[in-house]
Structure 1
Amino acid sequence: MCTQHHRHSIFCVIPPYVLDEIAQKGTPKQRAAALRTKSVDNTFRALRVASQASRFAPQRSAVPGAVELVQKQRAIYNAAATQNLPGTLVRGEGQGATGDPAVDEAYEGLGATFDFFAKVFDRNSIDDSGLPLDATVHFGQDYNNAFWNSVQMVFGDGDGEIFNRFTIALDIIGHELSHGVTEDESQLQYFNQSGALNESMSDVFGSLIKQFAKNETADKADWLIGDGLLAAGINGVALRSMKDPGSAFNDPLLGQDPQPKHMSKFVHTFEDNGGVHINSGIPNHAFYQVATRLGGYAWEKAGRIWYDALRDPRVKPNTGFRRYARITYDVAGRLFGVGGQEQAAVQQGWAAVGIEL
């Protein structure tokens, strides 16, 4: 997503390199929509949310489950094709479906994300302190993005030619909200390897949220991020593939999915905050390798290892792939036994992407 500071930021689902491709190769209408989207993203990136520092101060509970979980508090707003936030309240907690797919998908997606973190990790909402989950739909005109701005979710409707509505994929909703979890727990800097790790954490949790909602085991999951988001006629299946980074799309308009899945193909660039959306394919694939080696429900072992590692005090803002890999290895031993199959799977998973522990 798109940000420059770990405390005051927005995290957008469409990588800037995709918008750049559209701005260069699209029709006049498509190019205009891409440029408008980039302009809006740049504006929000520059904004500072005054209340965020206190809201997202790290709060690690000493004892799992020590904080009593509260009931979900969801509110969905309609911007009605304007850029006014939050817009008009159209569905509150406990209210029935509205018949507007974007409203109802956002409502259900926020709930599925809350339920996942509550039931799997005993986490009380995104900030572990009962943060209400708010979202705005129908933001802007042909806005080809969705973002988390540390206060709420915002969804565009897409242009219908390249992207469908951005509420359509549960893993995208989970991905964006999970940026708040990383923000709360580790404050990983959004640049170079730490930024790619930040992006990868959201892909991991986004995929797990979808798997949990569908009751899927690791071998049955599609391991795609953004399935259904690409409009008909676009040659691709999703924004990213954790199973096979670099294979999600290959389209004359969008270009070739640039994600590597091995350190030998690591992309050195200053664009995209040092390649945060590109190089996230490497830790993404490492998680896929670990989860499929362990089998069963991916959130039970691999997901627990990744979550506990994220909360480990050894994770610093500039943590890169190798340091985080070593922490996951240590956590696997602490949780499941030193020298066990879990530690072996973690070691093998990271080795598969070129990171030796």
Structure 2
Amino acid sequence: MNLLRQDDILFVTDSERVYDLEVQEDWQALKFTGFVNNWEYENIKAQLRKGKKDSAKMGRWSNGKPNYGYIYNRLERKLEIDEEKAKAVKLAFQMTIDGIGADNIAVKLNKLGYRTNKGKFFHSQSIVRMIRSDIYKGWIVANRLKGRNKTNGKIRPQDQWIVVKDAVKPCIIDEDTWDKANKALDKRLNPRAKMRKHGLSSLIVCGLCGRTHSVTIRSDRNNMRVIQSCRKRNPLGEKCTNGGIQYNTMMELIINNIRMKKDQIQLELEKLKDENETIDTTAIEIQSIEQQIKKVEKALQMLQLQLEEDLISVSDFKERRTIRSIELDNLQKELTKLKETSKEDKIKYKESFIEYLDHFLDNWSELDESQLNNELMSFINKTIWYHPIGNKEYREITID
């Protein structure tokens, strides 16, 4: 409203009433109309929420698009079984009971030609959500979230949930099968092995696919610790080809890289302290970030144009805009930090970091596994490991 008023733009309603926002009476009338409309809008929303709760209590479906395997009957306001998709649901539940992991279940369904309701491949998370969903045993659970979704919403206390048992008849899975599958899933998601922490836990990332390499103990090699080969599979089950490495060898590579990084920071510090420094590195960094910001802002403008020209879908637009907005926000924060950081601040920071790394390098071998992992994660974001199987000579490590 302020922007329209500032740029002398008239406001025309669907009833062809024209408001000139420079005229005080028009400005006030439009604001009052907006207040009344907003009050009515909130009133309608409250009625809709009450209607959804009442429908749930009556066992009617009111949770939007039905889960995979069900079809919504608008006349009866009930869910009915999609027999073909229900076969995939039953198979997923049985495989979970048999102790098969969500990744392998997703691969199996994808190979059999099944796809999600959006026509995409199944992934482990979609299988986990399927097994956890109460609707497959015939229960309707409403009023669980306060907000639009699990990402932006908040889970209400359980005593506020509306739970209607036997609301869907017939249901795809009986209650006993649902319980068995969920107990089996609990065991797989909470094994004792996952509770063990090694010095390099969650730090080694595959250079081919981005998945975190796990650390394990090989009983067939005198209990030698190793960084396992990447175990990620694509939706059709094809395995990533990034190889593993002995744990101690990887640790040695990382410690050597930390020493090199410390020496690099030491050189930067000496250069920074040099009063005859002729190159303003901060100004160069600021200029570089400002150029990156312009590129991201232009990319956001192009996305908006593509949406208006119907060249991309709304869902793709939202996904790409979110990524670009986060990138822009991070760049702006970095720019602000650079502009506010003086030369003295930089010197103090580098001196402090060198001291920290010196202390770590002198004492890391005395730390237990958990302490070592915490220390490494305090200054290492990730270690990218690239070692394609079949090429024993080539390997590369990049520490972020």
Report which of the two structures shows the higher radius of gyration computed on alpha carbons. Answer: 2
Larger RCO (alpha carbons 8 Å, 6+ apart):
1
TM-score bracket relative to the smaller structure: under 0.3
TM-score (norm 2): 0.22
TM-score (norm 1): 0.24
- Which structure is higher in helix share? 2
